[in-house]
Amino acid sequence: AEPLFRSLSARMAEGDKDRANPMREVRIEKLCLNVCVGESGDRLTRAAKVLQALTGQEPVFSKARFTVRSFGIRRNEKIAVHCTVRGPKAEEILEKGLKVKEYELRKDCFSDTGNFGFGIQEHIDLGIKYDPSIGIYGMDFYVVLKRPGYNVKYRRRKRSRIGSSHRVTKEESVKWFQQKFDGVILPGKKKK
């Protein structure tokens, strides 16, 4: 039998570089869900209930950074609720969200850092039963992608930056979306 390193290098020479190296595999780091109500009080607590029902986690409230008279919000007033989901649960919720969008995203949805986001109009499309006492809320999905080895950015000792060749690019995240979900990329909006 030929040695492992030779078969690996032979495979890399054939062109499927990314498949040969498990450290190059792109995966979901986290999924951030955000519901911005624009006011504190009863509507916001109902939105928090929606997020809790969807994720099974305790959501966090976001405060307004400054007063905007035209929107009727004051500084430090709670106006939104968000939640960060990781692991298989994140993949499951993302699948539901993309199903609502019919697996179609615009090219503008993808950032240069290899992350992407989209919004949905009604949370009941995700399979949550409609409750007249709660109402209907829209929400934002934001997906952060990573590769194995990204922990060097967060660890306490010997913390360092991720090399430019190891970072996830826009093209790679688009390719990952197309392969994993059989997604369709629509052209971006024309800039004026």
β-bridge mates for residue 185, sequence order = 105
What mean pLDDT value characterizes the chain? 87
Q: Within 13 Å, how many C-alpha atoms sit on residue 13's CB side?
A: 6
153, 159 Cβ separation under 8 angstroms:
yes
pLDDT of 81: 94
CA–CA distance from 84 to each of 70, 100, 106, 192 (Å)?
30, 20, 23, 34
Q: 172-181, pLDDT tens digit by residue?
A: 999 999 999 8
- Quote the CA–CA distance of 188 and 120 in Å, as a whole number: 18
Quick one: what percent of the chain has pLDDT higher than 90? 55
Q: 27-79, pLDDT tens digit by residue?
A: 999 999 999 988 888 889 999 998 998 899 999 999 999 998 998 889 999 99
In this prediction the pTM is 0.83
Q: Which amino acid is at 122?
A: E
Nearest alpha carbon to residue 110 among 168, 163, 166: 168
